[in-house]
Amino acid sequence: MSVKIGNIDLGAFPLLLAPMEDVSDPPFRFVCKQNGVDMMYTEFISSEGLIRDAAKSVAKLDIFEYERPIGIQIFGSEIDSMREATKIASAANPDLIDINYGCPVKNVACRGAGASLLQDIDRMVLMTRAVVEATHLPVTVKTRLGWDDNTKNVYEVAERLQDVGIQALTIHGRTRAQMYKGEADWTLIREIKQNPRIKIPIFGNGDVNSIEKAADWRLEYEIDGIMIGRAAIGYPWIFREIKHFFATGEYLPEPTISERVDVCRTHFEKSILWKGEKTGVFEMRRHYANYFKGLPDFKEYRMKLVSLENIQDIHSTLDEINERFQIEMA
């Protein structure tokens, strides 16, 4: 049985790339798509920013045909603004619109957006209905278990949001109070999936950072698919490795140093193309350590990569990394 969101067929057990601020941009999405991710989302986009035509928000609407299926994720605190932002986002022609009710960071949650809506389910329902009615596209939601341990209300959230028309729900197995600390708890996600009232796909998110967890939790928590976030940063191979294991029961070899360099280089080149030389070089700096995590004595190269400004110098350094570590890891 395929998992479907509206008319979008995601296959039997889809792997989704989480929307991550300052990470899930087109260059990063490109390398994840090459490695088998089934569906992706943009970085979350401020509804107020879209309405004001703010350059940073509008840039996040950029999507490409090879990325499909892809959702544009929006967030905000005002129902009217979310309604208007939905119309703007829909005009960019994504495959779906996703609402962020899960972001825990202070400058989002403390302004009445993101996970803050978990404190006011009635308002969340009204906002969701407004978004659903403002677009012809499927609407999905990403949220958390609740605001804190005393208000784990996502069971009610799932039922009520389904009733106003969302077509899939992704649940991060932490409360807002936990932020990204502690361990994700998927038991409530399983309870929601087992609820006979729930007919929409339920995706689990939080702490899936290995093939073993993906395989075990797929069975244990009975979810329809898994959303992966931080574990894909610098390691987009996680999608192909999990899918290969699901299909064959076998492990793929870890990426070679040449593969690491090649994918890092592709990410870098796409960053330059999309953002321009200056911004592309600067924003790529946050990724180098992740691509080469675990290499012995890599600090010297990391410091060099995050200081270089010339494109050719960066390419030369990547060549040097490839040559040196091929020999050392042979």
Alpha carbon dihedral 275, 280, 282, 284, in 10-degree steps, equals 120
Question: How many angstroms separate the CA atoms of 181 and 216, rounded?
Answer: 22
Q: Note whether 223 and 13 are within 8 A (CB).
A: no
Q: Exactly one of 32, 103, 110, 264 is catalytic; which is it? A: 103
Annotated catalytic residue 103: yes
Quick one: CA dihedral 93, 95, 163, 206, positive or negative?
negative
Question: How many angstroms separate the CA atoms of 81 and 70, rounded?
Answer: 22
Question: How many angstroms separate the CA atoms of 67 and 89, rounded?
Answer: 16
Query: Which residues are designated catalytic?
Result: 103
